[in-house]
């Protein structure tokens, strides 16, 4: 399993990137794709530089970020099935997006990611604020599930008000999609992802002690509640940034940490953190290729593809837990 993982992760990144650049309409061979990328006079240059490349870059960044968010949450809540779904951030972003699209609010397209980000952060903040009132990680998970469910209900209510036209648009978004994302989207999320990744790296050692129980961590000199809140905030920021441009991408955050632990042959947070970024990136990049190509020219929402790819991978990963 580990050997398979070690080869598939780089392979997935390379193949995913090549497929992302070469396949579609028109199909280019890898050499032509690289040439088109570098030569501004090439007819396919704009398509590659403004279309396929930023989409692939976004998939890599978002996948890595989701993996990190999932890892932080799983370790800090000591819950192997924790993910950003538990923070309500994806549903928070979805509520705002749904409201903007359905109610026809005058939000410029460029600002839509920021509006969604605000919605995601508000939902995440709700969960974090209620965390201050409880010491139990299980309560945090429950509160998150409740906020998430409430937002989910809101989304359905808002969508119910929509016309057929915008329901189709929303359908794409609500299942998560990377279609037609460009550099503006990458630029909107990049600062958040960078800050989140650095913060995660700085927190990792403390988060690791929390996996031994709150009292053990406190005995080692770790500020338990502060560390838990900070880790949840970082995970919320990462997941919110991703959700704001890609919608709720299912499964990557749940699955990537489990695969990364297998790959790194350890459960120590700071070592898994290094592995979870490429694993998450490869997962989402490859899922996006499946989403683009499986019933080409129609695109499947990437959230559907991650589920299709993710469920068997998760089952395999858990079976091989030796």
Partner 1 sequence: MTPPTTTVLAGDGLAAGHGRTTVVPALDLAVEAGTVTALVGPNGSGKSTLLMTLARVLPPRGGRVLLDGEPITARSSVEVARRLGVLPQTAVVPAGATVREVVEQGRYPQLGPWAMMRRRDDSVMERALRLTGLLDLADRRLDSLSGGERQRAWIAMTLAQQTGILLLDEPTTYLDVRHQIDLMRLVRGLCDEHGITVVMVLHDLNQAARYADRLVALRDGTVRADGPPTAVLTPPVLREVFDVDAVVVPDPVTGRPWFVAR
Q: In which residue are the tokens 């129980």 written?
A: 213
Q: Choose between 177 and 269: whose C-beta lies nearer to partner 1.
A: 269
Q: Choose between 152 and 257: whose C-beta lies nearer to partner 1.
A: 257
Q: Choose between 81 and 111: whose C-beta lies nearer to partner 1.
A: 81
Q: How far is the CB of 67 from partner 1 (least distance, A)?
A: 17
Q: Choose between 208 and 299: whose C-beta lies nearer to partner 1.
A: 208
Q: Choose between 156 and 202: whose C-beta lies nearer to partner 1.
A: 202
Q: In which residue are the tokens 């068997």 written?
A: 312
Q: How far is the CB of 201 from partner 1 (least distance, A)?
A: 7
- Integer distance in angstroms from the first to the last C-alpha of the chain? 10
Q: How far is the CB of 255 from partner 1 (least distance, A)?
A: 16
Q: How far is the CB of 70 from partner 1 (least distance, A)?
A: 16
Q: Choose between 64 and 248: whose C-beta lies nearer to partner 1.
A: 64
In angstroms, the CA 67 to CA 260 distance is 9
Q: Choose between 34 and 317: whose C-beta lies nearer to partner 1.
A: 317
Contacting residues toward partner 1, per CB under 8 A: 78, 80, 201-206, 208-209, 211-216, 218-223, 261, 266-268, 270-271, 321
Q: How far is the CB of 75 from partner 1 (least distance, A)?
A: 8
**One-letter-per-residue 3-state SS of the chain:** CHHHHHHHHHHHHHHHHHHHHHCCCCCCCHHHHHHHHHCCCCCCHHHHHHHHHHHHHHHHHHHHHHHHHHHHHHHHCCCCCCCHHHHCHHHHHHHHHHHHHHCCCCCCHHHHHHHHHHHHHHHHHHHHHHHCCCCCHHHHHHHHHHHHHHHHHHHHHHHHCCCHHHHHHHHHHHCCCCCCCCHHHHHHHHHHHHHHHHHHHHHHHHHHHHCCCHHHHHHCCCCHHHHHHHHHHHHHHHHHHHHHHHCCCCCHHHHHHHHHHHHHCCCCHHHHHHHHHHHHHHHHHHHHHHHHHCECCECCCHHHHHHHHHHHHHHHHHHCCC
Q: How far is the CB of 97 from partner 1 (least distance, A)?
A: 37
Q: How far is the CB of 56 from partner 1 (least distance, A)?
A: 29
Q: Choose between 158 and 255: whose C-beta lies nearer to partner 1.
A: 255
In angstroms, the CA 97 to CA 74 distance is 27
Q: How far is the CB of 72 from partner 1 (least distance, A)?
A: 15
């Amino acid at each position: 399993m580990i050997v398979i993982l070690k080869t598939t992760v780089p392979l997935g990144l390379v193949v995913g990137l090549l497929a992302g650049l070469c396949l579609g309409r028109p199909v280019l061979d890898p050499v032509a794709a690289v040439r088109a990328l570098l030569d501004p006079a090439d007819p396919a240059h704009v398509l590659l530089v403004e279309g396929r490349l930023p989409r692939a870059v976004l998939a890599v960044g978002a996948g890595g970020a989701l993996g990190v968010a999932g890892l932080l949450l799983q370790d800090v809540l000591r819950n192997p099935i924790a993910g950003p779904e538990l923070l309500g951030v994806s549903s928070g972003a979805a509520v705002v997006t749904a409201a903007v699209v359905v109610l026809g609010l005058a939000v410029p397209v460029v600002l839509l990611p920021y509006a969604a980000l605000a919605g995601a952060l508000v939902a995440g903040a709700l969960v974090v604020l209620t965390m201050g009132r409880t010491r139990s990680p299980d309560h945090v998970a429950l509160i998150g599930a409740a906020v998430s469910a409430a937002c989910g209900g809101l989304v359905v209510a808002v969508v119910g008000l929509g016309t057929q036209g915008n329901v189709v648009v929303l359908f794409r978004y609500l299942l998560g999609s990377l279609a037609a994302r460009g550099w503006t989207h990458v630029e909107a999320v990049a600062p958040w992802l960078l800050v989140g990744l650095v913060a995660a790296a700085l927190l990792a050692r403390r988060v690791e002690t929390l996996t031994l129980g709150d009292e053990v961590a406190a005995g080692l000199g770790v500020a338990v509640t502060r560390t838990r809140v900070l880790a949840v905030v970082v995970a919320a920021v990462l997941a919110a940034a991703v959700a704001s441009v890609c919608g709720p991408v299912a499964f990557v955050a749940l699955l990537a940490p489990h695969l990364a632990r297998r790959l790194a042959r350890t459960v120590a947070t700071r070592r898994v953190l290094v592995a979870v970024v490429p694993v998450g990136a490869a997962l989402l990049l490859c899922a996006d290729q499946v989403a683009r190509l499986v019933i080409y020219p129609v695109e499947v929402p990437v959230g559907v593809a991650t589920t299709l790819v993710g469920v068997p991978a998760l089952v395999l990963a858990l079976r091989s837990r030796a």
